[in-house]
Amino acid sequence: MTTPPDPPPDDTVAGAVERYLEAKAKGQGTGNYRSLAASALGRWQDWLADQDITLLEDVTDEEMRRYAQSLRRAVRDGGLAASTAQTYYATSRACLAWCVQDGRYNLVENPAAASRATSELPEDTAEPDRQFWRPEDVQTIRAYVGRRAHDAVEEHGLQGARPALRDRALVSLLAAAGVRGAEVFRDTDDDRDGRQGLPWRRVDLDAGTLTVLGKSQNWEHAQLPEQACDRLRRYYEAQDPPNRGWPVFPTAHGPSKYRAVREQLSDRDWDEEEIEDVLEENPIGEVLREHDVVPPAITVRGARSVMQRLCDEADLDVEGGYLKPHGARRGLGDALYRESAELAQSALRHASVRTTHDAYSHIDASETADEVGDVLDDTWGETPTEDPES
């Protein structure tokens, strides 16, 4: 009896996963998403293999129900956070959805989308980090970095005030533009263009716009109101970047600057001895500018450290310890949503106003409570004062 040949890769879970990751790499690169998806899908494949399932056609809604149950048990036993379990399942569901759309896998419906499967998932009851920059906190930090920048210019001149002007521009950009940290700062786990920090060539100070790689994985135009534009313009004058590829917020990390010089000059066929002689004889800042070496941008983590330092210096006491960069986006959305959901949607670049409504539903609920209270006052009359001793 001859052994039947192995099924072609297109028929296997492993083959489908490989092609899914290849497809995502074209639009989402080799950074965070791909690595996280590969890890989650590897776990899913291992679980299916334990059930003796290697063919995609054998992945039914019943199997996905069992997978959801296994994730719930892992959460109950303390092996996984509920949010992580939800992410694992969502990634396998996304892979299967892609297989349905691709058409080569003979899947008519996504088995992971069946309610009998998703109903078994653990509930994520953890309170998310929902810090947002309150208007009074924004006023405090803006006033602090504003005074600091003014004093630095008065004492050291425009060029000498670069660090203070940088901090003022950074705070203003976060507070007013509604950008995500990874859109303007360097993501050390994602080497794509658009995740390496915002360069000046993608800043239009005249039009009041930024071009960023959005969460959609597409290039998007982010709004830049005058409150931020003016601060960036002044900082641009002080920084005087040698070219438009220069990052808006370069790193202050010395080793990263030296590494950039060695790598970029080496790519231009400089020998090692020449590079080291230049670095030994000149300040690193002069080497960068004179030889047109573009320094790396500040990292997302570095931007958080800047904000933490500034909040400490300003004696700003906020929930979460300091004003976190993503909290600026939430704070701006909160303020704009109270004026217009559509304005908030446009400023935050949400694909749908439903996303905006979902993100700021607490405002609707609060305003509804006030309106209901007014109606009940009219209907029930004034609430009698109760004796606290009764």
pLDDT tens for residues 158-191?
Answer: 999 999 999 999 999 999 999 999 999 998 878 8
179 alpha carbon, distance to own chain's centre: 9
- DSSP 8-state secondary structure symbol assigned to residue 103: -
Domain 135-253+296-331 in CATH: superfamily? Intergrase catalytic core (1.10.443.10)
Q: What is the pLDDT of residue 6?
A: 52
Q: Which residue has the tokens 């700021």?
A: 360
Higher per-residue pLDDT: 168 or 370: 168
| Dihedral of the alpha carbons of 246, 251, 252, 255, in degrees to the nearest 10 | -110
Q: What is the pLDDT of residue 371?
A: 65
Q: What is the pLDDT of residue 7?
A: 47
3-state class (DSSP) for residue 186: strand
Report the topology of domain 9-118.
DNA polymerase; domain 1 (1.10.150)
CB hemisphere CA count around 350 (13 angstroms): 19
Please tell me the pTM assigned to this model: 0.67
- DSSP 8-state secondary structure symbol assigned to residue 220: E
Q: What is the pLDDT of residue 390?
A: 39
Task: Determine the Cα–Cα distance for residues 81 and 65; give it in Å rounded to an integer.
Answer: 19
Sketch the domain layout of the chain as residue ranges.
9-118, 135-253+296-331
Angstrom distances, CA of residue 269 to CA of 24, 177, 227, 264, 275 = 35, 41, 44, 9, 10
| pLDDT, tens digit, 9 for 90 and up, residues 81-127 | 887 888 899 889 989 988 888 887 778 889 998 888 988 898 765 55
Q: What is the pLDDT of residue 375?
A: 66
| pLDDT, tens digit, 9 for 90 and up, residues 296-327 | 999 999 999 999 999 999 999 888 889 999 89
Burial class from Cβ neighbours inside 10 Å (0-12, 13-18, 19+) for residue 291 reads middle
Q: Which residues contact 154 (CB under 8 A, 6 or more apart)?
A: none
| pLDDT, tens digit, 9 for 90 and up, residues 26-60 | 554 445 567 778 888 999 999 999 999 999 989 99
Q: What is the pLDDT of residue 103?
A: 81
Overall size of the chain counted in residues: 390
187-199: string of b/e by CB count within 10 Å (b at 16+)? beebeeebbbbbb
Residue type at position 50? D
Task: Determine the Cα–Cα distance for residues 174 and 325; give it in Å rounded to an integer.
Answer: 7
Band the pLDDT of 328: cuts 50, 70, 90. very high
Task: Determine the Cα–Cα distance for residues 118 and 89; give it in Å rounded to an integer.
Answer: 9
Q: What is the pLDDT of residue 29?
A: 45
Task: Determine the Cα–Cα distance for residues 52 and 46; give it in Å rounded to an integer.
Answer: 10
Contact present, 293 and 265 (Cβ < 8 Å): yes
User: Token digits for 111?
Assistant: 């088995």
312 alpha carbon, distance to own chain's centre: 24
- DSSP 8-state secondary structure symbol assigned to residue 249: S
Long-range contacts of 74-82 (CB under 8 A, 24+ apart): 75/122, 76/122, 81/126, 82/122, 82/123, 82/124, 82/125, 82/126
Alpha helices in 6-125 (DSSP H): 13-28, 32-50, 61-76, 82-102, 115-118
